[in-house]
Structure 1
Amino acid sequence: MPSSFHAFFRRSAAVLAILVLGACAQLPKDVERPVSTALASSDGTALATLLQERRAADKARFDSGFLLLGGPQAAYGSRLALIENAQKTLDLQYYAIHADASTGRLVRGLQAAAERGVRVRILLDDFHTIGRDALVLGLAFIPNIEMRLFNPLAGSRGTGFNRMLNAIGEVSRIQQRMHNKLFLADNVMGVTGGRNLGDAYFGNATTGNFVDVDVLAAGPIVQDLSRSFDSYWNNERAYPVQSLVSREEFQRIRERARRVDKELDDEAAQARNQPKPPDGEPRPGAAPTAEQRARAWDEKPLDLRSAAFVWAPALMLADAPGKIPADRGPGATRNPDLVVSQPELPSRNAAALADLAASGDTVVEGLLHLIGQAHTDLLIISPYFVPGPDMQQAFAAARARGVRIRVLTNSLASNDAPIAHVGYARHRKALLAAGVELYELRSEQADFGNVFGSSGGSVSGASRAMLHSKVLVMDGRLLVVGSMNLDLRSQLQNTEIALLIRSSELSRMAAEQIERGMRERSWHVELEKGALVWHAPEGSGLQDTGTEPDASATLRFLLRLFGPLAPDQLL
């Protein structure tokens, strides 16, 4: 998503061009997609042995274990640990993989794993594979690594504008993306949640970092995640990279990226050679070189033997690939099937939970049905919060039952896609009037990094914090962590995945951290005499305000001017 309103207008101009011009490129036909599946049995692998030992030592009642990954170090270290410990397979499914310092180390690890005989499969949504980020496509040309792109766009990958011009007439399909996130090792351990792969998701970006949370899962629940991965991997919407990008084209992509990197490094070097200001402070805009950023990234793998797993029953919700129409022309139909894994605990309550979740057509709709069963409390984090009619109805019904609802979302200043804030802002007064409690993340909070732990490991210095976590805690006993936002895009257009974990312990841990983030690091929005008031975070020393805090007057004006033109389902 764009990081400024200016970027939004550039993207809007590209979309406008799509509507005006004619089609220029076509996707390949009769593409070969050799079928492959997850590791049938993980017996004898190091991770399976470790899991058995941990389960026995903890005298676990349940077979699956979970670890919340809130801080950048734990999130990054968990992925390093899975790469280093995998012996048979590594399966990655992501909406975005950015070609930067943190991903560079992961990529080198994946290549080393492939060299020692690990089969690596990488499934990536195609939308962000442009410009420098197209460098990740080089993984497809490494022996023992397969890479496929989901719902790809035809044509050049030089810039987003060029690609949009080649996708004229497919605006609706461009809006439908694979938003799932999975990182699976040997079909026995895996990570899922909100994070993509890139510096901004691991506290390593220079201008802004995402506040995010994942779950490290171990045991039978990972087999359910793998089945979801396989359904996407073997789907007709997944194209092998080689069917879209030749080796020669990739060489041109790499040469272009090298030229751009050299230009940026030359500019940075020139800035560093300028005389220092009299006060001795660094000059603004003297960005570190790529080499400096790479040297600064020195995270360690997570110690899986000492990780404090919580053993609990769980189930997976996943949208089927058919939620996104196949490339069959204008007559293609949508097929929104929801995949619900069987709960580990064969009890009446667990079965009822699975049946209830399965009563929705999508992940978000399944969660709305769960919300319909809340008795006392709903604690929600959704960075892009655009409640459609179904969601508003679910909240109204819950409030009528006396359920307390608290939502943490982005403030205008912390939102990396300001236009998405419009869809939330237009419903804000109605939500407050209905009794929903709203909290908005304060953007200038580089010292805390996330609401689940410290931000240690960041080399970015002072930077903007942007909320990206997707979490729900229900009645203090059910924890949901996934890729979905509570908005119409996640409900109707993107495919999503989520873990539902029935654990009072994990729910308590998550709730305590979320509540601390709301209290100490967020603006509490209230409706007073018909007007919105933002109450400052506890202990911040800031003043309450009646306007969107920390946002410029220009940005507020532009959103008021153009916001009404943007329908909720496109935000």
Structure 2
Amino acid sequence: MKAKPFTATLFAFLLWLPLAAHAALDRPFSFIDEEIARHEGQTGIYVLDTGAEALRTRAWLADHAEQSIEVQYFIWSTDNIGILAAEALMRAAKRGVKVRVIVDDLLIDAEDKTLIALTRHPNIDIRIYNPKNSVGVPLQARLLNVVTDFRGVNQRMHNKTFIVDGKIAITGGRNMAAEYYDYNHKFNFRDRDVLLLGEAVKAMQSSFDEFWKSELSVPVAQRYDGLGLLKKRVQIEENESDYIQQALHDYAKSPANFAPEIRTAINAVGSTAARMTGQVAWSKAEFISDMPGKNDNRIGLGGGGRTTSALAKLVEDAQERIVIQSPYLVLSDAALELFKRARKRGVRVRINTNSMASTDNFPAFSGYRNQRRQLLGLGFEIYEYKPHAATQRQMMQAVSKANGSAPITALHAKTMVVDSNIAYIGTFNFDPRSENLNTEAGVIIHNEELAQLIEAAIETDMHSSNSWNAATDDPDQYAPLSKRSKVRVLQTIPIKPLL
């Protein structure tokens, strides 16, 4: 429990769902069942464009799950959001809900004993994807893995899915950490998720089960049995396990961990639900996901994947325009040829990505900077996100007043709109790592009205109050000298396949 208390206790306390404002309180999911039955073969879609919406929706779903919760994340932090999310899952498990969690090994931020204590509950099962770096891995094992299995160390699970009772789910760019929900005091992400009901959730469930059964997803207990020199040995007494579980509940219940504005939000639940009711769009949608391991390549860093192929086909089929929002923009040779063909067909390509001043990933930006001039020469219209974008400044006014300064904001949404009638929202960055190494997931939405709304949101982020024009504004000048120096050094290192 090392997180600094903050307003993110919203996760544990705020009860809100846009779809079920008038549903019975004892069986709120009955409304969802009725809607799914009325739209057989279709998918209900609601875009979660703000961190507050995304957080409240997850909170409500966790608190009202009846049978199962299945979760996949690339990052799970031990800040307020991560702690409260874990506590919400623990409460669900104590109600009898079966909880299954898969977390990638690379950036998981949890103490060994906390992981073990959580899995001691009979209704909670946690698996670590491809544990070669962190969970149960001593230093000598990490070094050996880098030397003997470089691709394996770099092959990560980037999926983000949250499935409740097998019928309602969330996917998109957000991990489980404060900065993805506008609750970090210093640095936040502009991100996007999508809430799904019905048909596409079936495919998401199948994908989760595929990862769950994979030998790459290892039960937590097996990471601490201490067999040989390549795994840690961590033991925990039963009373210690009970203490850790109770500490989670105590943290979530403590009045010191939430602010007055959270109480105000709770009191406004009724009006919020009334406004949102009926705004779910029902249409055709396809959930796409890579196989565990990404592809069959076990030596090199290439190989592609299911998500790569699906998105490449969207670009190949584009007739008029493509609008992309991606935090990292490093086109592989294959991707570059794909977009060159699109430009030759007369397809307009507009991209919103991070500026050097806003980016959280210097290596990725170095790869983009190496090819930015070439992309602009091909006729790409590129807009680089500002670290203090106007739309985010308005959203973070309360934090700004408390701290005396506004948090930096970076782009993290991974979205593409093709010909203003098909949209993709998911986890795929337009870079070689997403193309060939990391498993990715997302949903392709065949709904013209929704696609145009998403495109309009991206265009707002491209506006001069939120982004610089890469062709005319020289955005690099607004980055600190220290950032510019680091990026220039990284530009000289041949690391493009890893970006």
- TM-score norm. by structure 2 comes to 0.80
Residue 554 of structure 1 corresponds to which residue in structure 2? 482
Residue correspondence of structure 1 range 212-251 to structure 2 within 5 A = 212-245=191-224, 249=234
How far did 1:566 drift? 3.4
Unpaired runs of 5+ residues, structure 1, are 1-44, 259-290, 337-359, 527-532, 535-545
Structure 1 residues 547 and 407: alpha-carbon distance in aligned structure 2, compared to 1, 3 A threshold: closer
Counterpart of 1:85 in structure 2 is 64
Q: Deviations over 1:396-452 (max 9, x none)?
A: 11111111110000001111111210111111111111111000000123x6339xx
- Give the length in aligned residue pairs: 442
What's the offset of the Cα at 1:332?
A: 6.7
CA–CA distance in structure 2, aligned partners of residues 157 and 550 of structure 1: 42
Quick one: distance in 2 between partners of 1:566 and 1:141?
45
Distance 1:397 1:156, change over 3 A: closer
Structure 2 counterparts to residues 271-350 of structure 1, below 5 A: 294-296=257-259, 298=262, 303=273, 306=277, 308-323=279-294
Q: Which of 466, 469, 472 is matched with 1:524 structurally?
A: 469
Q: For residue 321 of structure 1, what is the amino acid of its counterpart?
A: P
Query: 8 Å contact 1:490–1:496 — kept in the other structure?
Result: yes
2:498 maps to 570
* Separation (CA, whole Å) in 2 of partners of 1:249 and 1:457: 43
Following the alignment from structure 2 to structure 1, what is the Cα–Cα distance between the partners of residues 417 and 112? 35
Give CA-to-partner distance per residue, 1:140-173, whole Å, 9 cap, x none. Answer: 22231000001002677699x7874463423321
For structure 2, the 5+ residue unaligned runs are 1-25, 226-231, 244-253
Equivalent residues of 2:214, 2:292 under 8 A apart: yes
CA distance in 1, matches of 2:44, 2:457: 20
Q: Are 2:73 and 1:94 aligned?
A: yes
CA RMSD across the alignment? 3.3
2:381 paired residue among 420, 437, 457? 437
| Mapping for residues 369-448 of structure 1, pairs under 5 Å | 369-445=313-389, 448=391
Name the SS of the counterpart of 2:365 in structure 1: helix
Which of the two has higher C-alpha Rg?
A: 1
The structure-2 alpha-carbon separation of the partners of 1:205 and 1:293, relative to structure 1 and needing over 3 Å to count, comes to farther
| Contact 1:62-1:311 within 8 A present in 2 as well | no
Q: How far apart are 1:85 and its partner, in Å? A: 1.7
Q: Structure 1 pair 230/155, CA: closer, same or farther in 2 (3 Å)?
A: closer
Q: Describe the superposition over 1:19-61 as per-residue Cα deviations: whole angstroms up to 9, x where unpaired.
A: xxxxxxxxxxxxxxxxxxxxxxxxxx946522244468xx758
Q: Name the CA shift for 1:435/1:294 in 2 (closer, same or farther; >3 Å).
A: same
1:492 to 436, 455, 462: 436
2-structure distance, mates of 1:293, 1:210: 26
Structure 2 partner of 1:167: 145
CA contact (8 A) 1:72 1:455 kept: no
Contact 1:150–1:237 (8 Å) recurs in 2: yes
Name the SS for the 1:405 alignment partner.
strand
**Partners in 2 of 1:227 and 1:568 — Cα distance?**
33
Distance 2:96 2:300 in 1: 41
CA contact (8 A) 2:136 2:223 kept: no
- Amino acid of the residue matched to residue 76 of structure 2? I
2:10 aligned residue: none
Q: From the superposition, tell whether residues 162 and 139 of structure 1 become closer, same or farther in structure 2 (CA, over 3 Å).
A: farther
| Structure 1 residue matching 2:490: 3-state secondary structure | helix
Q: Tell me what 1:185 maps to.
A: 164
Matched, 1:119 2:82: no
**Offset, 1:456:** 8.1
Aligned-residue identity in percent: 29
Match of 1:449 in 2: 392
User: How far 1:138 moved relative to its partner?
Assistant: 4.0
Task: Give the distance between the partners of 2:135 and 2:445, measured in 1 at CA.
Answer: 43
Counterpart of 1:236, as a letter, is E
Q: 1:219 to 1:550 in 2, by over 3 A?
A: same
Q: How does 1:249-268 map to 2 (within 5 A)?
A: 249=234
Q: Which amino acid aligns with 1:419?
A: P
Deviation track 1:63-85 (CA, whole Å, cap 9, x = no partner) reads 31010001111100111111112
Give the number of the structure whose residues are more often helix, by fraction. 2
